[in-house]
Amino acid sequence: MDSFYKVLNKEKQEQAACNEYNFDHPDAFDFDLLISVLRKLKEGKSVKVPVYDFTTHSRSKEWKIIYGANVIVFEGILSFANKELLQLLDMKVFVDTDSDIRLVRRLKRDIMERGRDVSGVIKQYSKFVKPAFEQYIEPTMQAADIVVPRGGENFVALDLIVQHVHSQLEKVRRSSLGEGENTTAAESPIPTWLLLFVAQYLLFVIIAQKTIHSPPRTYPFLISWKGVQFLAVAPLYKPQSKRLQLMGFPRILPLPMALPTTWFLSQISKQ
């Protein structure tokens, strides 16, 4: 959702530079563009998504291309604040964490990634972030289908979410649907079990990564299926092996001591 902040005029850019602009108010987002993009993605179409630069408080000249898919994970602090947007969300998850943890994460992110100073971050948090949470974000918890206490540390809740998505993907496979630019499990050259496996992990780590801060390193490996080899690449987080074993995922791939945050598959050879 951060990609859809509105373009600021000169006056508002000056306010943002002094930590006087409220980025946590619904009016800070371009909901018209956001809803249009999300609707096209759900239709299986490719879309252009703006890239927001938090150091300059402006949109980049380059846009990202994103393609439609059977599973779309949309995340943002005000995801439930717009009624029209809310109607596009098939499964609504509210990830709840302690306020102290949220403040620590914001301090770390804004100082290390966005070049802010401590006093400015605390000023912005006290003046805008905390009041906005109490007024616009916390009340929307009632719109959620699932509330996840303790954030990404709640592996039981994450497992339930993953299993639900798994069941929905299985319905897609059985119905053999797949129109337009969308590629379904039924028509893909990649085996269904592999698509489901990757989709499960993707959803799991997108939610869980908010609480994981270890630097990743790349772990490539090959998968062979019916004479075709696929290359899978996954960044690793060493401390996560035992937790992965508890998630109930297939143990087909060699993933000891690994928690992938990004997956991509490419056909590299054919026998």
Domain extent listing, the chain = 2-175
Q: What is the pLDDT of residue 161?
A: 82
The predicted-structure confidence for 112-153, as pLDDT tens digits, reads as follows: 888 888 998 999 999 999 999 999 999 999 999 988 888 777
Q: Are 265 and 242 in contact (CB under 8 A)?
A: no
Gap between the Cα atoms of 44 and 48, Å rounded:
13
* Banded model confidence at residue 81, pLDDT cuts 50, 70, 90: very high
Residues 6+ apart with CB under 8 A from 116: 19, 110
Domain spanning 2-175: which CATH class is it, in words?
Answer: alpha beta
- 36 versus 54: the higher-pLDDT residue is 36
- 234 versus 248: the higher-pLDDT residue is 234
